[in-house]
């Protein structure tokens, strides 16, 4: 843990609501120290909130897929790598 690509990989688990509390706090720790990821997640506040509250909201699989793809594309555009 602790690397940006780990974080981006975990974002889809966030969305699935499958992230355990420990991974969640690791992720938040990384976010606290990584401006790039913070900028990234700023656009995904809903996702972070899901994690914090431990609430599972249902996302249609099609939307989730689109979101994953969108995230990856956005990340590449913004930072030039995954």
| Site of interaction with Zn ion (CB under 5 A) | 4, 34, 37
Quick count: other Cβ atoms within 10 Å of Cβ 29? 12
CB-wise, 29 or 65, nearer to Zn ion? 29
3-class DSSP state for residue 57?
coil
CB-wise, 36 or 56, nearer to Zn ion? 36
Residue whose tokens read 């995230």: 71
Instruction: Answer yes or no: are the C-beta atoms of 73 and 81 closer than 8 Å.
Output: no
- In whole angstroms, the minimum distance from the beta carbon of 4 to Zn ion comes to 3
CB-wise, 15 or 37, nearer to Zn ion? 37
């Amino acid at each position: 843990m602790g690397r940006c690509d780990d974080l981006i990989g975990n974002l889809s688990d966030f969305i699935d609501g499958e992230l355990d509390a420990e991974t969640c706090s690791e992720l938040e720790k990384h976010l606290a120290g990584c401006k790039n990821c913070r900028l990234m997640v700023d656009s995904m506040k809903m996702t972070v909130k899901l994690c914090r509250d431990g609430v599972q909201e249902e996302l249609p699989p099609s939307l989730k897929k689109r979101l994953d793809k969108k995230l990856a594309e956005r990340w590449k555009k913004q930072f030039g790598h995954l």
